Structure 1
């Protein structure tokens, strides 16, 4: 008769790099679904552990987000600091490689930093400022003609453009992808920006529409951008314009309807500006210059809020509405790409898409940076940097 005997199995060992695996999985989950839609159990499943085990490492999702953003920004900072003495070209190559090796990082830094505690938010920004400052020192060594304001602007613009692959899924063979990114980085560091008036700080509140519905939409844009959709109530939106929560429902049946109206408004404004630029232009080059300038003016005016909402909040509206808005976004970028290919016909569709996305990301991200957000003179320099990426000359 067969006798069953117990087999002593060695206990499974916890990986020594468990925390690193958790942080990497968190970044990937936040990149894919957004912070608000990601649950701790999703991150635990990605690592292959239980949610209870994950809570042994991090007490809350916000704490995990803070650790993930600090760790990833530390990773880039250590890499940049190690290459600081090697000069501008080496830093551009390093940032290019880092961007393609870690395509989840940039969009999570941009989109989710608002969900951090104030302490963690300040720490992440300090690390990013160190990285930009290191690039700025190398830039000034190479370009002693640049003043501190120009140096800071170009450094941040280069970092945003080189981080743009995080925002799209276009693929190219790695050598060509690196060549494109490195080329735009080099071109941006050589640009000679036109002089502008001294930056004028924005002081005091701006005027609001008289229409109650329009005032609610304007308030919702600000609140959803700064706090995230799920952290804002209809009462918050009403309070921002001095009305009750019930009054808001007279205009929008639900918070999702309010968000949908906001997102459609943002999309419609982009399309209206693009169509106006096309109607005023006789060549692709002229149209592209107009569109770049108008997009820069728009993002500076709203501090990149519209672009932020289209990147971060689509998941919260009904699927049919979401699909329609995504289609509009895809078509909008395709219009840019078509114009760009009319100016640069030797590029492939994918190559043109990568460069156009670099422009759109740079124009959308920079107006949200605390260092630059109070400048009313930012649109002109941003447009010049964008046209440099596209290699489209400014009008003579």
Structure 2
């Protein structure tokens, strides 16, 4: 005979905000580890629920990933829409429109701390229609900045307006790319830096004819494998490139690739190590050639912009794909990336003693993101004029 339940029975009460908690946990996981490295079980465990309970809210991992990406864009799109509508209602002068847009955007992005990598890198794994939707909505946000800039400076050249509006947004968006604390002083500096991006006077674009390409590829298969892998990882993302494709690009079989590397992640580790060594060498050379912190910062700005434009595939892979490395290699490279940030932060504090350590890190990240964003706007075209103009914008943002 079945024993009847004891009454009164207390039902299990599910938190009303469970779906929001799931989305928050998934957003942090995807940002930290990348879409392909996170499972539904990982997300469920972080929220303290079972995998079946998670599937009651989201059909699959892709459905959850799409919600996280759209949620980040929602936040900044809503903020810029509200700022624009408020300006229209009050007929605010351009300077007030600019301040309101910058302030609202920064406030929304501070709430997205550490999640911007999803849009910056992982959004390439969205399905084409979803990726197009994200791109269209971001274009609308960029358009808000362009509109305000045109109100402020109606005679600004179109080439300058394209760079300056994106630089202003990049300063603010940088807070979503890292987890350094944002003090009120740092927030004030970032708002002022975005406004300086609007106000900058850029050098004119100079005509340039690229010289004929020179040089021959290495004959060493290991070097060829690394070089072609960097191109493939940059173009499509590490997780969508197979060993067979890498071998085909070099003219060997997959087994031929394995004679040089134990795994695909070993190829990535070699590429990332190369990037870290290159950035370290660039920094050391700048420091060795100057006699003051001011000159060091000035030289490092030019050297960093040159590095990003001349070797963008290598450096973008280094930044974007480290989550796909093994634990030990990933920790080593993350430590090197942190050291690079600290080098810039220390130099900024030497030049601007009013900065705290965390404020200097925030400013350094803002500078890095400006260069990255402008490189994308310029399609990574490495010309003397582009180097000069991007470096000029970086100096404006850093106020040096």
TM-score range for the pair, normalised by the shorter chain length: 0.7 to 0.9
Cα gap change, 1:248/1:205 in structure 2, threshold over 3 Å: closer, same or farther? Answer: farther
Would you say 1:326 and 2:328 are equivalent positions?
Answer: no
Cα gap change, 1:14/1:126 in structure 2, threshold over 3 Å: closer, same or farther? Answer: same
> 2:180, 2:30 → 1: CA distance?
20
Q: Among residues 156, 159, 171, which one is paired with 1:149 in the alignment? A: 159
TM-score (normalised: structure 2): 0.86
> 1:153, 1:103 → 2: CA distance?
24
> 2:323, 2:78 → 1: CA distance?
34
Cα gap change, 1:50/1:142 in structure 2, threshold over 3 Å: closer, same or farther? Answer: same
Partner of 1:91: 101
Partner of 1:36: 36
User: What is the 5 A alignment of 1:174-185?
Assistant: 175-185=184-194
Would you say 1:385 and 2:386 are equivalent positions?
Answer: no
How many Å apart are 1:253 and its aligned residue? 2.8
Q: Among residues 207, 213, 218, which one is paired with 1:210 in the alignment? A: 218
Would you say 1:171 and 2:177 are equivalent positions?
Answer: no
Partner of 2:8: 7
Partner of 2:124: 114
Q: Among residues 363, 378, 387, which one is paired with 1:372 in the alignment? A: 378
Cα gap change, 1:194/1:271 in structure 2, threshold over 3 Å: closer, same or farther? Answer: same
Cα gap change, 1:5/1:206 in structure 2, threshold over 3 Å: closer, same or farther? Answer: farther
**Residue by residue, what CA displacement relative to the aligned partner does 1:42-83 show, whole Å, maximum 9, x if unpaired?**
223344443223334433322322232123212321221121
> 2:215, 2:132 → 1: CA distance?
30
TM-score (normalised: structure 1): 0.87
How many Å apart are 1:19 and its aligned residue? 4.4
| Native 8 Å contact 1:80 1:134 kept in 2 | yes
Partner of 1:52: 52
User: What is the 5 A alignment of 1:241-252?
Assistant: 241-252=250-261
Cα gap change, 1:32/1:234 in structure 2, threshold over 3 Å: closer, same or farther? Answer: same
Partner of 1:26: 26
How many Å apart are 1:182 and its aligned residue? 0.9
Aligned pair count reads: 383
Which shifted more, 179-188 or 236-245?
Answer: 236-245
| Native 8 Å contact 1:199 1:376 kept in 2 | no
How many Å apart are 1:208 and its aligned residue? 6.4
Partner of 1:336: 344
User: What is the 5 A alignment of 1:75-86?
Assistant: 75-85=75-85, 86=87
> 1:4, 1:49 → 2: CA distance?
25
Which shifted more, 241-250 or 178-187?
Answer: 241-250
- 5+ unaligned residues in a row in structure 2: which ranges? 88-96
Would you say 1:267 and 2:273 are equivalent positions?
Answer: no
Q: Among residues 340, 352, 359, which one is paired with 2:360 in the alignment? A: 352
Which shifted more, 317-326 or 30-39?
Answer: 317-326
> 1:24, 1:324 → 2: CA distance?
28
Partner of 2:94: none
Would you say 1:223 and 2:232 are equivalent positions?
Answer: yes
**Residue by residue, what CA displacement relative to the aligned partner does 1:139-182 show, whole Å, maximum 9, x if unpaired?**
11012232222222222222222122233332243x22321211
